[in-house]
Structure 1
């Protein structure tokens, strides 16, 4: 285990409203991480360092939803030993959409987009 992705647990309808509000407020990015069909963790304003972990097409970590005392949580686990000063990354696994978000991970096997 590397770190838990911490934030406020919200429903999809609230996440949609917040994402729009964050854009209107000029917040550069939102940190919304889906747990399941209707539950999202919003770490935009009350998260921890996990929200700053970047995507990579060749990641050294992975994200997993676990249950602790019937509460779902997102935990980042390492795939391999991670060296001091090595960037921690995981695959965001964004859904495929027509409008592509460019990937800048620089991995040899980079897909070219996050979605």
Structure 2
């Protein structure tokens, strides 16, 4: 285990509203991580360092949803030993959509898009 992705647990309707509010407020990035069909973790304003972990098509970590005392949590686990100065990355696995988000990870075998 590397770190838990921490933030406020919200529903999809609230996540949609917040995403719009963040854009209107000029917040360049929102940190919304889907747990399941109904639940999102919003780490935009009250998250921890996990929100700054970058995407890679060839990551050294992976995200896993676990249940602790009937509460779902997102935990980042390492795939391999990670050196002290090595960047921590995982595959965001964004859903496939018509509008593609370019991937700039530069990893060997980069897919070219995040979704």
For 1:26-105, what aligned pairs fall within 5 Å after superposition?
26-105=26-105
- 1:12 is matched with 12
CA deviations over 1:28-71 (Å, ceiling 9, x no partner):
01000000000000000000000000000000000000000000
CA deviations over 1:68-102 (Å, ceiling 9, x no partner):
00000000000000001100000000001111111
Aligned mates of 2:108, 2:73 — CA distance in 1: 31
Alignment coverage as a number of residue pairs: 115
| TM-score, normalised by the number of residues in structure 1 | 0.99
Aligned mates of 1:52, 1:106 — CA distance in 2: 18
SS at match of 2:110: coil
Structure 2: runs of 5 or more not aligned: none
Aligned mates of 1:33, 1:98 — CA distance in 2: 20
Give how far 1:108 is off.
1.2
| TM-score, normalised by the number of residues in structure 2 | 0.99
What RMSD over aligned residues (CA atoms) do the two structures have, in Å? Answer: 0.4
